[in-house]
Structure formats: C-alpha cells, structure tokens
A and B are shown apart, each in its own frame.
Chain A
C-alpha cells in the first residue's frame, strides 16, 4: 500500500510571498503519478499540478511548481507570489500507473494554507 505524508498541518504566508508545502510518500512502484489538489472552503477539489514519475523535469503551472525528488520520495509544492485566493486546504496525492485503467488517488491528510494581506 502507498502512504502519503504531509507533515505541515497548517501554514501561513503573506500576500506576494513564496511558500513551500512538503509531501513525502512511500511506494514500491516505479511508475506512478503525483498530484497536488487544492480544496477551498467551498470544498470543490481542484487539480493544481501533476507530475509523472518517469519525467525528471519538475512540473510547473504558472505560479505553482514542484520539487520532485524520486530517490527521496519527496514531492513539495512551491507557490510563488501568493494570492489571497490561494487560501485553501492542499492535498498531496499518489496514483499508481496502469495503462488503459484508472486507479484511486491516495491522499495525504492535507495542509491548511492561509494567505494573509
């Protein structure tokens, strides 16, 4: 079984600053996907960014980027130029890879991020 650990239950950052959320995972799989999902108070889970394990290059999406360290099984999320709308619960998630089939996401417990003015 895969486990995902988010060691920071809560974090805060000032507007326009940069913050990094940490995530580690444990797996024996070689091919897999990693995700960061955002869940604002409205509770709609939104995909922030994803990373394929076979790709060495770190994924980026505008102000969001990841630091993927496969050997260390670490997958941190960096949010640059933080905005008030970034306030949300952030979940790190792992998915095994299998062609032509979906797998369930294994989620961490989440990190609550508060962006302050």
Chain B
C-alpha cells in the first residue's frame, strides 16, 4: 500500500509570507497527526485528527498556525505569517483508529529567510 504522502518536500520563503503543507494519509487511516521537528530534536505534536475532528490541538500556535482535514482524508497545515523560528521539518503521520503504530511521511523541510 502507498505510504503517507506529503508535499512539497522543500519550501523556502521569506518571513511574513504564508505557506501551506499538504498531507495524504495511508488509505483507511482515520487518525492523522502533524508534528514539528526542529533541528537536532525529536518531533513534537502540533495537532491530531480523528477523522475530520481536531481532538488535540493544544500545542498548535493558533495565532499563526491553522489546520484542516476536510472529509476526514487529506489535511493541510498553514502558517501565516511565517517567522524565522518556523524553519523546521513538518511531519505528517497516520494510524488506523485505535491502533498504536503511526506511519510517517517524508516531511516538508521549511526554510524561512
């Protein structure tokens, strides 16, 4: 089966510009996660979806970050406006409902200049 797909793989933008990341989870996976991975660190959760419902967004900086998962499949994570400190890798992962193993996409590496 196809893995988690993310695009773009790389993005370079100037600060204050908007940026969006897209994720397509593994078919049949109800749960979708967005993680932020800073250089030299482990990933940290930004938001978790069960189907189309955001069930854990406590770590999402809501002043500039937003996310959606329309129809409970694909998801988009947006930053507006981007800041220099947002330079990081944004990872998407998915899992079957009630299952503990998460499968990760290749990530989007963002560089804010």
By beta carbon, the residue of chain B nearest A46 is: B104
Complex Cα distance, B104 from A97, in Å, reads 19
Given known contacts A43-B89, A43-B107, A107-B42, is B50 in contact with A101 (CB within 8 Å)?
A: yes
Write out, one digit per residue, whether chain A residues 80-117 have a CB within 8 A of any chain B CB (1) or not (0): 00000000000101010101111111011110000000
Q: Does A47 contact B (CB under 8 A)?
A: yes
Residue with the highest number of chain B CB atoms closer than 10 Å, among A33, A95, A104:
A104
| Chain B count of residues within 8 A CB distance of the other chain | 29
In residues 15-69 of chain A, which contact B (Cβ within 8 Å)? 33, 35, 37, 42-47, 50
Chain A residues lying within 8 Å of B31, measured Cβ to Cβ, are 102
Complex Cα distance, B98 from A101, in Å, reads 4
Measured CB to CB, the closest approach of chain B to A40, in angstroms, equals 11
Measured CB to CB, the closest approach of chain B to A69, in angstroms, equals 20
A108 with B98: CB separation less than 8 A: no
A43 with B106: CB separation less than 8 A: yes
A100 with B97: CB separation less than 8 A: yes
Chain A residues lying within 8 Å of B93, measured Cβ to Cβ, are 45
In residues 76-101 of chain B, which contact A (Cβ within 8 Å)? 89, 91, 93, 95, 97-101
Q: Does B65 contact A (CB under 8 A)?
A: no
Chain B residues lying within 8 Å of A100, measured Cβ to Cβ, are 97-98
Complex Cα distance, B43 from A4, in Å, reads 12
Complex Cα distance, B100 from A100, in Å, reads 10
Contact among A44, A97, A105 with B102 in the assembled complex (CB-CB below 8 Å)? A105
Chain A residues lying within 8 Å of B22, measured Cβ to Cβ, are none
Contact among B41, B48, B105, B107 with A104 in the assembled complex (CB-CB below 8 Å)? B48
By beta carbon, the residue of chain A nearest B100 is: A33
Measured CB to CB, the closest approach of chain B to A33, in angstroms, equals 5
Given known contacts A43-B106, A45-B104, is B42 in contact with A108 (CB within 8 Å)?
A: yes
Chain B residues lying within 8 Å of A47, measured Cβ to Cβ, are 101-103
